[in-house]
């Protein structure tokens, strides 16, 4: 794992609660907002299970700590998207909160129903970008959620030990979290593979 320069983190008093909201004007229309919200709720909860930080969705986009939207090409932040594949998304380090996904991608919740060869798993990318929002940079561990690349039609949503070690060094551990639960999850993943 690694961090951004200066090791920025959300410097709130415990218990830390971060709000998130979706842009009303910059969304995709082929996945229902309800389904998108469910995916993000699951992605946020994975991080919340390992650190003493909770996440709450709110409606008021401008006042949210984390602001999520889908954007095409040059969208004004100096980091233009590049069309299908290439760059999928980006998010900014704490305490900026901007979380942008490339609207040109074929975002998918389920590869059984979406057959496109260039479909990208929304939940995997959401989980990765939340890591950036929290202060993690890219990892060189290929299995980690914070590894920078993700193949089309692949899924990587479960945090690995590298991800957990990194984020817990910033925020401490969730008192309810045990490494054995993570290992159990990794073992079941390996057997599944």
Token pair 């920025």 is at which residue? 8
Phi-psi region of 186 (alpha: psi -120 to 50; beta: other; left: phi over 0): alpha
Stretch that binds other proteins, among 25-33, 43-51, 55-63, 147-155 (CB under 8 A): 147-155
188 binds other proteins (CB under 8 A): no
Query: Which residue in 32, 59, 86, 181 binds other proteins (CB under 8 A)?
Result: 86
Q: How far apart are CA 133 and CA 8, in angstroms?
A: 10
79 binds other proteins (CB under 8 A): yes
**Token reading at 175:** 């008192």
28 binds other proteins (CB under 8 A): no
66 bridge partner residues: 20
By the 8 A CB rule, do 74 and 102 touch? no
Q: How far is the CB of 16 from other proteins (least distance, A)?
A: 21
Determine which one of 112, 129, 143, 186 is catalytic: 129
116 binds other proteins (CB under 8 A): no
5 binds other proteins (CB under 8 A): yes
Nearest to 57 by CA among 93, 99, 90: 99
43 binds other proteins (CB under 8 A): no
- Catalytic status, residue 143: no
Instruction: Give catalytic residues, as residue numbers.
Output: 129
């Amino acid at each position: 794992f690694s961090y951004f320069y200066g090791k920025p983190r959300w410097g709130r008093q415990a218990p830390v609660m971060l709000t998130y909201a979706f842009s009303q004007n910059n969304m995709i229309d082929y996945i229902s907002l309800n389904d998108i919200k469910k995916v993000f709720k699951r992605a946020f909860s994975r991080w919340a299970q390992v650190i003493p930080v909770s996440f709450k969705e709110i409606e008021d986009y401008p006042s949210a700590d984390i602001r999520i939207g889908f954007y095409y090409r040059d969208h004004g932040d100096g980091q233009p998207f590049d069309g299908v594949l290439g760059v999928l998304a980006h998010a900014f380090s704490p305490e900026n909160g901007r979380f942008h996904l490339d609207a040109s991608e074929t975002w998918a919740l389920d590869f059984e129903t979406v057959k496109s060869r260039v479909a990208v798993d929304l939940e995997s990318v959401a989980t990765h970008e939340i890591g950036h929002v929290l202060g993690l940079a890219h990892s060189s561990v290929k299995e980690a959620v914070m590894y920078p690349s993700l193949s089309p039609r692949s899924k990587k949503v479960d945090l690995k030990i590298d991800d957990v070690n990194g984020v817990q060094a910033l925020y401490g551990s969730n008192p309810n979290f045990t490494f054995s639960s993570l290992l159990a999850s990794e073992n079941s993943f390996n057997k599944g593979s």
